[in-house]
């Protein structure tokens, strides 16, 4: 019984990997276009459009690859800063993550 209790307590102590903020790709735009989070937080992007999209860092720090309809991708931001991104397939789609 003790090992089970210890395992349960350790599982509760692990940080959640659930996204802190969800950004939707809807009507060929990132919604919301700008989000503010804390270091270590996770942003999840969800494609709600019928066309594929990507999430690509303007400074080449991250890239989601192609996301089809209803696909999701997430990224943890560990350091403070302002991170701009865009859709490689539709470069007019732009967004910003502010980490502070």
Tens digits of per-residue pLDDT, 21-45?
999 999 999 999 999 999 999 999 9
pTM confidence score: 0.82
**Any domain includes 28:** yes
Which CATH number do you get for residue 30?
Answer: 2.60.40.420
Count the domains in the chain: 1
* 85 falls within a domain: yes
Query: Reduced to 3 states, what is the DSSP secondary structure of residue 25?
Result: strand
Residue 12 lies in a domain: no
5 in a structural domain: no
Query: What pLDDT sits at residue 20?
Result: 85
Pair 42, 75: CB distance under 8 Å: yes
- pLDDT above 80: residue 17: no
Residue 1 lies in a domain: no
Q: What is the pLDDT of residue 16?
A: 52
The answer for 70, left when phi > 0, alpha when psi is -120 to 50, beta otherwise, is left
Is the C-alpha dihedral spanning 61, 84, 100, 70 positive or negative?
negative
- Per residue in 67-100, pLDDT (tens digit) is 999 999 999 999 999 999 999 999 999 999 999 9
Query: Residue length, the chain?
Result: 100
Evaluate whether residue 74 is within a structural domain: yes
Asked whether residue 41 is assigned to any structural domain, the reply reads yes
Full residue range of the structural domain in which residue 58 is found: 17-99
Asked whether residue 72 is domain-assigned, the answer is yes
pLDDT of amino acid 91: 97
């Amino acid at each position: 019984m003790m090992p089970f209790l210890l395992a349960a307590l350790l599982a509760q102590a692990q940080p959640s990997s659930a996204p802190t903020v969800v950004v939707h790709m809807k009507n060929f735009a990132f919604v919301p276009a700008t989000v503010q989070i804390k270091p270590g937080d996770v942003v999840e992007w969800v494609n709600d459009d019928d066309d594929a999209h990507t999430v690509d860092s303007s400074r080449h720090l991250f890239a989601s690859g192609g996301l089809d309809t209803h696909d999701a991708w997430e990224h943890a931001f560990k350091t403070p800063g302002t991170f701009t991104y865009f859709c490689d397939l539709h470069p007019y789609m732009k967004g910003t993550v502010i980490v502070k």
